[in-house]
């Protein structure tokens, strides 16, 4: 029963050609792979940071666990999306990165506990996570250069394109007041 439950959460795994410690350091460097506008503490247990992407997404995340070279865990304290109705979908969810040594490199297993297919944001969010993790974070770990969302006013990285299309499809239609 517990196994079936965990399989419903969004998960993905990717490999890098660097050490588990390099992967850990890349993950906690949120500004290097997720958003240049991230503000706050990303590398200390109990620290909190705010991620924002234009007027589309804003969330406050608390660092709940750090095991160098092995694990990073976060709790979503608050969240806002401009393309869904239920703003509680991410609140209280956990974001977990588990790192293992594998064949001269490392494997990063990502789980967003609580991001489930029944959620309105699931398609957009899982697509965006795919770009951030399999593209930007993987590149940051392997090469030292990620493709995070730029600081305010900058051009969005290419991996945002598919998520942007999905958001446009979900945008609320004009209402007659």
Q: Which two tokens stand for residue 93?
A: 């969810």
> The whole model's pTM is what?
0.86
Q: Residue 167 CB: number of other CB atoms within 10 A?
A: 21
Is residue 14 classed as helix, strand or coil in its secondary structure?
strand
Q: Which two tokens stand for residue 51?
A: 């991620």
Give me the pLDDT at residue 8, please: 83
CA–CA separation, 53 and 66 (whole Å): 25
Whether 5 shows a pLDDT value over 70: the answer reads: no
Is residue 35 classed as helix, strand or coil in its secondary structure?
strand
Whether 12 shows a pLDDT value over 90: the answer reads: yes
Give me the pLDDT at residue 70, please: 98
Closest among 131, 148, 113 to 29, alpha carbons compared? 148
Q: Are 65 and 71 in contact (CB under 8 A)?
A: yes
Tell me how many degrees the CA angle 57-43-12 measures, rounded to the nearest 5. Answer: 60
Give me the pLDDT at residue 1, please: 33
pLDDT tens profile 57-108? 899 999 999 999 999 999 999 999 988 889 889 999 999 999 999 988 999 9
Give me the pLDDT at residue 55, please: 83
Please give the residue that has the higher pLDDT: either 22 or 149.
22
Give me the pLDDT at residue 175, please: 37
CA–CA separation, 19 and 80 (whole Å): 35
Q: Residue 6 CB: number of other CB atoms within 10 A?
A: 11
């Amino acid at each position: 029963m517990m196994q079936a439950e965990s399989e419903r959460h969004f998960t993905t795994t990717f490999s890098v050609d660097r050490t588990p410690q390099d992967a850990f350091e890349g993950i906690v460097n949120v500004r290097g792979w997720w958003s240049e506008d991230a503000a706050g503490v990303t590398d200390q247990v109990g620290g909190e940071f705010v991620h924002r992407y234009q007027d589309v997404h804003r969330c406050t995340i608390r660092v709940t666990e750090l095991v160098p070279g092995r694990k990073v865990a976060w709790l979503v304290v608050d969240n806002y999306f401009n393309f869904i109705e239920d703003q509680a979908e991410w609140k209280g969810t956990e974001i977990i990165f588990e790192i293992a040594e594998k064949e001269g490199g490392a494997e990063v297993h990502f789980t967003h506990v609580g991001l489930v297919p029944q959620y309105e944001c699931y398609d957009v969010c899982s697509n965006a996570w795919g770009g951030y993790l399999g593209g930007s974070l993987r590149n940051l770990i392997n090469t030292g250069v990620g493709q995070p969302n730029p600081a305010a006013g900058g051009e969005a990285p290419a991996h945002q394109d598919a998520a942007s299309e999905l958001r446009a499809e979900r945008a609320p239609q004009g209402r007659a007041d």
